[in-house]
């Protein structure tokens, strides 16, 4: 029952990341430049035709730039730049005292060495916990109740093999801010970005990917 309720209140978040917005602005730049180049070419005298209205700049260059801009916008919207799956949820969506963040992906070991991966996983878990103690806003969250559960089966990890990774972070609020509220969305976004950047992207033992297929492709290329 609890698991069903949890799934019901789970909400995928962060449709776009910074790279998506960067490409959107590039697309807008092309579109704006196209319309600027298309402007003008008229005549002050309505009885006099100005051939400049059909110049190469206005009928070829400007429309091309606009079409490129719309193409870039489509790319920016459809392209998924996220390297991890990120999900937010709450046991009680009306009074979300506790909020959980789930970050998951697939990991490839970097080194072909005899490594104690159980110890490595514990260190990653500890690194996430230590980071949270440092970055969490004490006015919003009870730091002492924060929980981190990193799930990665150490027995099946070996060089040349892809392994599933799931990190669930449980945060306890001082107040019942709704999960969809802007104040919580911004806070969780910042937390996820820091955890991914400092704990997963910089990990010395694994390269992480969003999909298993992506991880396998990287293995073949290695």
DSSP conformational letter for 156: G
- 6 pLDDT exceeds 50? no
Question: What are the DSSP calls for 182-204, one per residue?
Answer: HHHHHHHHHHHHHHIIIIITT-S
Q: How confident is the model at residue 11 (pLDDT cuts 50, 70, 90)?
A: very low
Q: Among 92-96, 140-144, 162-166, where is mean pLDDT lowest? A: 92-96
- Neighbour tally for 69: CB within 10 Å: 20
Name the one residue in this structure whose structure tokens are 């019901």.
8
Q: What is the average pLDDT across 146-172?
A: 92
Show the tokens assigned to 79.
């392209």
Contact present, 125 and 148 (Cβ < 8 Å): yes
Whole-number Å distance between alpha carbons of 81 and 40: 39
Per DSSP, the three-state class of 31 is helix
The structure tokens listed for 117 are 């991966």
pLDDT band at 31, cuts 50/70/90?
Answer: very high
How far is it, in rounded angstroms, from Cα 146 to Cα 123?
Answer: 17
Return the SS3 of 80: coil
What pLDDT is recorded for position 9? Answer: 44
């Amino acid at each position: 029952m609890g698991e069903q309720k949890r799934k019901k209140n789970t909400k995928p978040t962060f449709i776009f990341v910074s790279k998506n917005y960067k490409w959107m602005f590039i697309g807008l730049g092309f579109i704006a430049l196209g319309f600027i180049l298309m402007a003008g070419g008229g005549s002050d005298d309505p009885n006099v035709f100005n051939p400049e209205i059909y110049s190469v700049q206005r009928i070829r260059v400007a429309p091309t730039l606009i079409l490129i801009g719309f193409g870039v916008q489509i790319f920016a919207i459809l392209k998924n730049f996220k390297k991890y799956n990120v999900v937010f949820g709450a046991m009680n969506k009306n009074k979300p005292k506790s909020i959980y963040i789930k970050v998951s992906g697939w990991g490839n070991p970097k080194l072909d060495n005899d490594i104690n991966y159980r110890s490595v996983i514990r260190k990653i878990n500890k690194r996430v916990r230590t980071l949270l103690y440092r970055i969490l806003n004490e006015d919003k969250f009870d730091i002492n109740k924060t929980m981190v559960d990193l799930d990665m089966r150490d027995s099946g990890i070996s060089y040349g093999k892809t392994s599933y990774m799931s990190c669930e972070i449980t945060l306890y609020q001082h107040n019942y801010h709704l999960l969809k509220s802007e104040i919580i969305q911004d806070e969780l976004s910042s937390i996820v970005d820091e955890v991914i950047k400092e704990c997963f992207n910089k990990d010395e033992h694994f390269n992480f990917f969003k999909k298993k297929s992506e991880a396998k492709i990287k293995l073949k290329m290695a």
